[in-house]
């Protein structure tokens, strides 16, 4: 009779939120790999009904403390889309700049505090700090600079208060921006040091045939705008999202699973952006990526930590470019008058595409809302990765296999706060 095992991790650590994973093994076969998420789903969508369209960015920002800017950007773009308004010029540049800050702080937190310990054999960043305090201090400094950029433009680093439909409540002067530019130059150096550190890690040999989905813009590495594309033929405008992506309820989870219509699971996030937009990275980020051992495409999710480092470097480059070219606008925001319409917004949160759709009436009251965070979109792929990874490494002892399963989940930097509120990890061995 085939030997059965169950991997059971009761509480997944070093992810945003809590989650549950069940993996059942019999002999050399994986019977089941399920990511279970327990959370009353989608209450923010309910909160939004009846509120004014100008409130969506402030309310949705409170879904997550790590990526509030992403929620604000997707919400404001969706509302501006509904009201047929487009923000251009310096205001558009400032939006990219605040997004640079969020990518820097979110990726720095994940690389240093959440994921690097896995590669180096530490239980946590605290354990890593006992041996390598200078390295951890470096990560904190990098994150702090990202937070300072968000706070400078957004009014505060958590749940920024300066972002509004149409632009901002207040915009900085050029001299003010130049001051924070000095801090970004140091952050750029740290980003390069981080890449040199991470490229020396040992990466499990694991590749899958993913469908990567990301925004693609004609001229720039994507933050706020672009078409939705994939490496398997998808090329649609953002307002066609609902016709091409479906969500389905699975019995073991309260978070819905996303699929591309008629095809199935997909990946969004840094790896997807990198694969679909390498040519749009800054020259220094491209060179650093290749020097770190990446090719122009990458299908190994364990190497997503290198890609995050490349994106930190790119965000520093882009932020410095924007600051150099900045001329303060005459107005902090353009007028946005409500009308009865449906608006669509999709921006690149640190973890991947974040889709918002709102229907508003002629007075700007929100009638319904739909929010699809990147983490929920990656759930199916996480489960598939777990199944395939365990199959390929089935002879590993339980302890090591469990460790690497958790490391694999952290490849996706899942923000369960966004997808849900609580997630407990149980891997059962039968």
Partner 1 sequence: MNKPRVVIIGIGNEFGGDDAVGLVVARKLKRSTLDRVAICEENGEGTALIELWRSADLAILIDAAYSGADPGKIYRFEAHVRPIPTEFFRRSTHAFGVPEAIELARTLKRLPKRIVVYGIEGERFGAAIGLSRAVETAAQEVVNRVLRDCEKASRSETRTEGHTLNPQSEKTWVRCLSVLTWGLTKTSL
Footprint of partner 1 on this chain (CB under 8 A)?
Answer: 11, 13-18, 40, 43-44, 47, 59, 62, 65-66, 109, 113-114, 124-126, 129-130, 133, 136-137, 140, 143-144, 147, 151, 155-159, 161-162, 169, 416-417, 421-422
In the complex, minimum distance from the CB of residue 332 to partner 1, in angstroms, rounded to a whole number: 11
In the complex, minimum distance from the CB of residue 225 to partner 1, in angstroms, rounded to a whole number: 26
Q: Nearer to partner 1 by C-beta: 407 or 417?
A: 417
Q: Nearer to partner 1 by C-beta: 216 or 351?
A: 351
Q: Nearer to partner 1 by C-beta: 126 or 237?
A: 126
Give the closest residue to 258 by CA, choosing from 380, 371, 420: 380
The answer to whether the beta carbons of residues 260 and 211 sit under 8 Å apart is: yes
Element (H, E) at 338: none
Give the closest residue to 426 by CA, choosing from 22, 19, 15, 18: 22
Q: Nearer to partner 1 by C-beta: 18 or 225?
A: 18
In the complex, minimum distance from the CB of residue 35 to partner 1, in angstroms, rounded to a whole number: 16
The answer to whether the beta carbons of residues 405 and 386 sit under 8 Å apart is: yes
Element (H, E) at 204: none
Residue 349: alpha-carbon gap to chain centroid = 4
In the complex, minimum distance from the CB of residue 305 to partner 1, in angstroms, rounded to a whole number: 15
In the complex, minimum distance from the CB of residue 58 to partner 1, in angstroms, rounded to a whole number: 8
The C-alpha atoms of residue 123 and residue 104 are separated, in whole angstroms, by 24
Q: Nearer to partner 1 by C-beta: 229 or 336?
A: 336
The answer to whether the beta carbons of residues 380 and 264 sit under 8 Å apart is: yes
Query: How many Cβ atoms sit within 10 Å of the Cβ of residue 62?
Result: 13
The beta strands (E) that lie in 261-351 are given as 341-349
Q: Nearer to partner 1 by C-beta: 44 or 394?
A: 44
In the complex, minimum distance from the CB of residue 322 to partner 1, in angstroms, rounded to a whole number: 22
Q: In the structure encoding, which two tokens stand for residue 261, read together?
A: 């219509």
């Amino acid at each position: 009779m085939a030997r059965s095992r169950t991997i059971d991790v009761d509480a997944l650590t070093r992810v945003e939120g809590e989650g549950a994973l069940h993996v059942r093994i019999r002999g050399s076969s994986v019977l089941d790999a399920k990511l279970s998420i327990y959370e009353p789903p989608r209450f923010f969508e309910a909160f939004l009904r009846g509120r004014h369209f100008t409130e969506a960015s402030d309310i949705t920002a409170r879904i997550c403390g790590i990526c509030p800017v992403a929620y604000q950007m997707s919400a404001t773009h969706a509302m501006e889309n509904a009201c047929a308004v487009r923000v251009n010029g310096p205001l558009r540049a400032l939006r990219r700049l605040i997004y640079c800050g969020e990518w820097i702080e979110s990726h720095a937190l994940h690389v240093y505090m959440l994921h690097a310990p896995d590669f180096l054999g530490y239980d946590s960043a605290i354990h890593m700090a006992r041996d390598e305090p200078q390295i951890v201090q470096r990560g904190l400094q990098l994150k702090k600079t990202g937070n300072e950029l968000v706070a400078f433009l957004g009014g505060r680093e958590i749940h920024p208060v300066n972002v509004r439909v149409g632009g901002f409540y207040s915009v900085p002067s050029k001299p003010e921006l130049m001051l924070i530019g000095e801090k970004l130059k140091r952050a750029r150096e740290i980003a390069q040091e981080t890449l040199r550190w991470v490229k020396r890690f040992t990466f499990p040999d694991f590749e899958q045939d993913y469908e990567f989905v990301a925004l693609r813009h004609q001229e720039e590495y994507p933050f706020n705008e672009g078409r939705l594309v994939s490496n398997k033929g998808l090329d649609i405008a953002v307002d066609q999202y609902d016709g091409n992506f479906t969500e389905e309820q699975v019995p073991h989870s309260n978070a819905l699973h996303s699929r591309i219509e008629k095809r199935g699971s997909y990946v969004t996030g840094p790896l997807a952006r990198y694969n679909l937009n390498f040519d749009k990275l800054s020259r220094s980020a491209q060179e650093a990526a290749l020097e770190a051992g990446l090719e122009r495409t990458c299908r190994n999710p364990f190497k997503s930590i290198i890609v995050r480092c490349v994106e930190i470097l790119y965000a520093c480059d882009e932020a410095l470019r924007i600051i150099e070219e900045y001329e303060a606008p005459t107005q902090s925001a353009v007028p946005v008058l409500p009308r009865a319409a449906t608006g669509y917004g999709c921006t690149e949160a640190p973890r991947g595409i974040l889709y918002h759709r709102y229907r508003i009436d002629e007075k700007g009251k929100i009638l319904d809302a739909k929010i699809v965070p990147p983490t929920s979109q990656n759930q199916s792929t996480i489960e598939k990765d777990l199944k395939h990874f365990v199959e390929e490494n089935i002879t590993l002892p339980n302890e090591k296999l469990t460790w690497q399963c958790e490391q694999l989940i952290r490849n996706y930097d899942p923000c369960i706060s966004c997808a849900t509120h609580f997630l407990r990890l149980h891997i059962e061995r039968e």
